[in-house]
Amino acid sequence: MESAAAFRVGISFHTFVQDYISFVYSFEDMMEMASVLGRGVEIVGPSNHRGFPEVTDEFERTFKSGVDRYGLIPTCYGSYSDPFMLPDRDLTPAEMYEYLVPQLKGAAKLGFPVVRLQYFSHVIAEKLVALAEKLDLKLGYELHTPLTLESDTVAMLREQIERIGSNRLGLIPDFGIFARSISQHHLDQGRRAGVGEDLIALAQELWATGTSKHDAVEAVQEAGGDERAVSWVNMLWGCFGRSDPAKLVEIRDHIVHCHGKFYSIVDGDEPDLRYEEVVKVLVDIGYTGWVSTEYEGGPTDTFTIAMAHQEMMNRYIRKYAQK
């Protein structure tokens, strides 16, 4: 059977962040690994180059040299809005714009076609879109838990995108919003923090029944949970969303990139995220952009687990990308 056009799977260097900052991998190592991890490269500004929010000429040379040497394709630059970066107040919209301008210019300088935005920057969207037009960039709000497809915030972002009416502004779904369960790694984090098994079981039950974060925190506190337990619950509700992959159809015209978030691979599959359903919907709606492998689990051989994630993704692509 003839295969339909389908999306491609690359790598986010966020996958290697712990190995990079602890000098296990150099930037050159990551670029070389990318050549066998789909060749599409996503970087995160403050994690992957010095001088952030500026992109220095030195880093431009380093990055472009690696792209040429290994035959790579820049896919997405991870920018930050950071409205809370000051100790005494939030950034004003004007200050946020000033902070984002060098990031967008740097992304264009490096050859990235897409810039990831945090939703905080929606207050300056029109100005950012105007700049993106000049720089020939697309911008995408990252839909990271708790920004599920069903959330009020995402509804607001969708309304804004449709109102502005520019193909320069879209959405970047993070697959952590498509969870079916909480990962073993995150449960073990609670145990290491001293959270008792009764509270761990309670948190799982609350999450599985769709309890809000506010109500879950209250329930855990009422059951005797201390600050450590509350912090752990807040983390869980910030990592695992309960969106239905079928709802990707509703934003099909606004997807400019995707983050292939995952926490583990067991027997060839991600046990806690609804990957097969997500891939099927992306193929069905005709998405032909990039998905960046993005690992956020426990310490492991990150290159090997990234390979396993891409093998899973490509297996599902082959399964569903048939005419």
Residue 129 has pLDDT above 90, yes or no: yes
Give the per-residue pLDDT at 322. Answer: 80
Mean pLDDT of 74-86: 96
> Which residue, among 315, 290, 263, has the nearest Cα to 12 in the 3D structure?
290
Please give the Cα distance from 36 to 52 (Å, whole number): 28
Handedness of CA 237, 282, 17, 264 (dihedral sign): positive
The per-residue pLDDT for range 291-322, each reduced to its tens digit, is 999 999 999 999 999 999 999 999 999 999 98
- Residue 1 pLDDT: 44
Could you say which of 144, 254, 257, 309 is catalytic?
A: 144
CATH hierarchy code of domain 8-181+241-320: 3.20.20.150
Looking up tokens 């708790």 gives: 146
The pLDDT of residue 228 is above 50 = yes
Domain-wise residue ranges, the chain? 8-181+241-320, 184-234
Q: Is residue 169's pLDDT more than 50?
A: yes
Asked whether the beta carbons of 306 and 295 are under 8 A apart, the reply is yes
94-123 burial, b at 16+ Cβ within 10 Å, e below that, comes to eebbebbebbbbbbbbbebbbbbbbbbbbb
Mean pLDDT across the stretch 173-202?
97
| Cβ pair 75, 294 in contact under 8 A | no
Does pLDDT of 4 surpass 80? no
Average pLDDT on 44-73 reads 97
Model confidence, pTM: 0.96
pLDDT for res 5: 67
- In the prediction, which pLDDT does 323 show? 53
| Mean local confidence (pLDDT), 241-256 | 98
**254 is an active site residue:** no
